[in-house]
Amino acid sequence: QVQLVESGGGSVQPGGSLRLSCAASGIIFSIYTMAWYRQAPGKQRELVASITSPGSTNYADSVKGRFTISRDGADNTVYLQMNSLKPEDTAVYYCKAGVVVSKTFRADYWGQGTQVTVSS
């Protein structure tokens, strides 16, 4: 019904930048929230940043001041600009969207993940 496709991951040196994108498509009435999570090897998946439909944002303490989440509502796309990257930011990054599919059905959908590696 709903697909999320992420792009923009890769390898970068410490201090570098990357921009992740996540595009939602399918049967979508509206999207009320979009978020980025990450999961490092051997660790639990954690919230990195989220943005609601009105534009309110929330960030994990570990990325505040370095990462910026934004959204293009017209294209159902969310971005994560990551600056001043650190080795501890290395993880698989997942996009999640809270989608209203119809008047009676809403659900969370996940992307397939994109690898971000920060290493010298």
- Digit-by-digit pLDDT tens for the chain (120 residues) are 899 999 999 999 999 999 999 999 988 888 899 999 999 999 999 999 999 988 899 999 999 999 999 998 777 999 999 999 999 999 999 999 999 888 888 899 999 999 999 999
pLDDT at 101: 87
pLDDT at 75: 76
Is 33 strand, coil or helix? Answer: strand
Q: Where are the beta strands (DSSP E) in the chain?
A: 2-7, 10-12, 18-26, 30-39, 46-52, 57-59, 67-72, 77-82, 91-102, 105-110, 114-118
pLDDT at 43: 96
